[in-house]
Every structure is written in C-alpha cells, then in structure tokens.
C-alpha cells in the first residue's frame, strides 16, 4: 500500500484549489453582499477542511501493514470521507441560517457583474481540479479522492445555480431570489453529505463487494468447476482500496494435496486478475466427499 503515498499530491492540489476559491468567492461576497455567494464561500471552507483531512488519511492509508494492523491501514480513508460528509452538513446548516435571516431582512445586491465574474473564475478552478481528482480516485480506487472530487463537482454545480440566481436577482431587483437560491444550494449540499457518510459507514461495516465483482468471481469459478472442483462460503468485503475475497474450494477426495494446492493458487491468481487493483484472496481446501465440509458453508448468524 506504500504506493498510495503518491495520491497525497492530489490532496495538496485540492488544498491549493480550496484556498484559491475561498479567496475568490469571499471577494465576490464582499463585492455584492450576496448571501448566495456567501454560501458558496462557506462551502469552499468545507472543501479546504475536507482536503486537509484527506491528506492526513491518505498519508496514514499509505503505511504498510505492521504487527498491529496486519491487513494494512487502508480503512483510514473512510475517516476522511465521513468527516467531509459531516463538515458538509455543518456548512449546509450555516448557509440555511444565514439565508433565512436574509429572507426576513432582504438587502439589495451591489457590483453584481464583477462579483459574478470572480465567482465564475473560482468555479472553473474547481471544475478542473475535480476532474483530476475523480480520475485519480477511480483509477486507484481511493474513496478519499472520489469524495473530494464529488464535493468539488457539487460545488461547481451549486456555484452555477448561485451565479444564475444572483444574476437574476441583481439585474431584476428581486432580492428575495438570492436567499432562496442559497437555501436550495444548502439542501443540495445536505444530499451530498448524506451520500458521503452513507458510503463511508458501509465501508466501516464491511459491506460486500458490488454485484459486478461477484459476477467476475463467478466467471472464474465456472472455469474451475469444469476442472472438477466446486465452491461454497464465498465472502467478500472492501477496505477502501483493498478488497478481500474468501471462499472454500471442494476437491475430489482422491486428489493429492499438491494438485489441490496448485489449483487453489491458480484460482487465487485468476480472481486477482479478474478484479484488478489490490485484492487479497483467501481459500480453504476441503474434500468434497466429507460431510464436515458442509458445516461451515453458511454465514455465521
């Protein structure tokens, strides 16, 4: 897992983008007095906190296995994504609180054109950084980078909504549109935070691998069934970048241990090839004719 350390450069990129967009969006708020643009700036603060958390957790996840963590440290990435989800929810509450105050006490917007231009520049930065992080996260199976990328892309879309709402409010004089747009943005942020937290909790709870991975494993099993073996007690889980597969292989009783072991080794290699990425495969060899082989085929309940 040491190669995961190379992913920290993307976390640094996200931090740099967050600092730049905070400066730009805060300037846009002071120029326009728009609570919608303020909500955008607050979300960028959350981006910065999330990026810093991602950097810390990616650094920990890159550590090799040790005596106390024999399966590595990859689950540390879930702490980054769940923390970012909580921060997003906190930001949404702050945005709604500010927007409601502005609904009660509307204020005219100022220097709308310049403020929107500054906000557009910040959104362009977030868009390109988000694409970079998302590509790296999917390629390297990093939930931290994917969470950060989705958060940044959400920021882009909410910024588009804010910019549109502020533009209409500024040029029509309908000041009430500004806080309404801010509340809509906040609700969208809540949904993003919920999704990040749900996915992270699923990782902590050792949720099984997706159906596509199970189909790939089944394809490999079908190949080996033709060689005279069978399978049961398939169990899978994911710990951030690393995936785990455990299965019992039933061999004819007249096979030698040597032959059965070679089949098992080949099967493990084929599963790793079929799934790709970082895979740990455990196999347990059992004689098909022994009735005791069936005692452990079901999950513990």
**CATH number of the CATH domain containing 59:** 1.20.1510.10
Residue 299 within a domain: no
The answer on 283 and 166 residing in a single domain is no
Q: How many CB atoms lie within 10 A of CB 269?
A: 12
**Integer Cα distance of 10 and 7 in angstroms:** 6
The pLDDT value recorded for residue 1 is 42
Conformational region of residue 240, where left means phi above 0, alpha means psi within -120 to 50, and beta covers everything else: left
The pLDDT value recorded for residue 110 is 62
User: Would strands 242-251 and 230-239 be described as parallel, antiparallel, or unpaired?
Assistant: antiparallel
Q: Which domain holds residue 227?
A: 211-294
Residue 301 within a domain: no
Q: How high does pLDDT run on average in the chain?
A: 79
Residue 283 within a domain: yes
CATH no. for residue 223? Answer: 3.30.70.1350
The b/e string for 202-236 (b: 16+ C-beta within 10 A; e otherwise) is ebeeeeebeeebeebbeebbeebeeeebebebbeb
Last residue of a domain, one of 204, 223, 253: 204
Residue 127 within a domain: yes
The answer on 172 and 85 residing in a single domain is yes
Kindly state the percentage of the chain with pLDDT values over 70.
86
The answer on 169 and 151 residing in a single domain is yes
The answer on 160 and 100 residing in a single domain is yes
Residue 300 within a domain: no
The answer on 104 and 182 residing in a single domain is yes
The answer on 273 and 234 residing in a single domain is yes
The answer on 171 and 57 residing in a single domain is yes
The answer on 167 and 38 residing in a single domain is yes
The pLDDT value recorded for residue 263 is 93
Q: Distance from first CA to last CA of the chain, Å, rounded?
A: 33
What are all long-range contacts of 16-21, with beta carbons under 8 Å and residues at least 24 apart? 17/47, 17/51, 17/125, 17/126, 17/129, 17/152, 18/44, 18/45, 18/47, 18/48, 18/51, 19/48, 20/122, 20/125, 21/47, 21/122, 21/123, 21/125, 21/126, 21/155
Residue 243 within a domain: yes
The pLDDT value recorded for residue 224 is 94
* β-sheet with 230-239: strand ranges across: 230-239, 242-251, 278-287
Q: Dig out the tokens for 296 from the structure.
A: 């452990």
Q: What is the pLDDT of residues 196-205, one digit of tens each?
A: 788 778 777 7
The answer on 161 and 180 residing in a single domain is yes
Last residue of a domain, one of 182, 204, 226: 204
The answer on 215 and 199 residing in a single domain is no
How sure is the predictor about 111, in pLDDT bands with cuts at 50, 70 and 90? low
Q: Is 228 helix (H, G, I), strand (E, B) or coil?
A: coil
**Integer Cα distance of 31 and 33 in angstroms:** 6
Given a cut of 70, whether residue 109 has pLDDT beyond it is no
The pLDDT value recorded for residue 301 is 38
Q: What is the pLDDT of residues 56-108, one digit of tens each?
A: 777 777 777 777 776 777 777 777 777 777 877 877 787 787 778 777 776 66
The pLDDT value recorded for residue 223 is 94
The answer on 223 and 159 residing in a single domain is no
The answer on 200 and 91 residing in a single domain is yes
Number of separate domains in the chain: 2
Last residue of a domain, one of 163, 184, 204: 204
Which class for 59: exposed (0-12), middle (13-18), buried (19 or more C-beta within 10 A)? middle
């Amino acid at each position: 897992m040491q190669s995961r350390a190379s992913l920290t450069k993307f976390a640094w990129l996200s931090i740099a983008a967050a600092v730049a967009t905070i400066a730009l969006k805060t300037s846009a708020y002071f120029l326009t007095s728009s609570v919608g643009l303020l909500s955008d700036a607050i979300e960028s603060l959350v981006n910065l906190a999330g990026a810093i958390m991602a950097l810390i957790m990616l650094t920990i996840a890159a550590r090799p296995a040790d005596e106390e963590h024999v399966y590595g440290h990859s689950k540390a990435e879930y702490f980054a994504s769940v923390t970012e989800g909580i921060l997003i929810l906190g930001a949404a509450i702050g945005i709604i609180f500010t927007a409601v105050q502005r609904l009660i006490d509307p204020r005219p917007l100022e220097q709308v054109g310049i403020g929107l231009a500054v906000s557009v520049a910040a959104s362009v930065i977030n868009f390109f950084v988000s694409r970079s992080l998302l590509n790296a996260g999917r390629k390297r199976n990093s939930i931290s980078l994917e969470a950060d990328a989705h958060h940044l892309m959400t920021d882009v879309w909410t910024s588009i909504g804010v910019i549109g709402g502020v533009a209409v409010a500024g040029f029509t004089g309908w000041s009430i549109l500004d806080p309404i747009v801010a509340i809509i943005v906040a609700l969208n942020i809540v949904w993003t935070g919920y999704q990040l937290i749900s996915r992270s909790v699923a990782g902590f709870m050792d949720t099984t691998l997706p159906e596509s991975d199970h189909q790939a494993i089944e394809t490999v099993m079908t190949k080996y069934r033709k060689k005279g073996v069978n399978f049961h007690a398939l169990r899978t889980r994911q710990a951030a970048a690393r995936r785990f597969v455990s299965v019992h292989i039933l061999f004819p009783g007249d096979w030698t241990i040597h032959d059965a072991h070679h089949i098992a080794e080949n099967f493990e290699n084929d599963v790793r090839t079929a799934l790709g990425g970082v895979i740990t495969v455990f196999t347990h060899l059992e004689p098909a004719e022994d009735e005791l082989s069936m005692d452990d085929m079901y999950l513990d309940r």
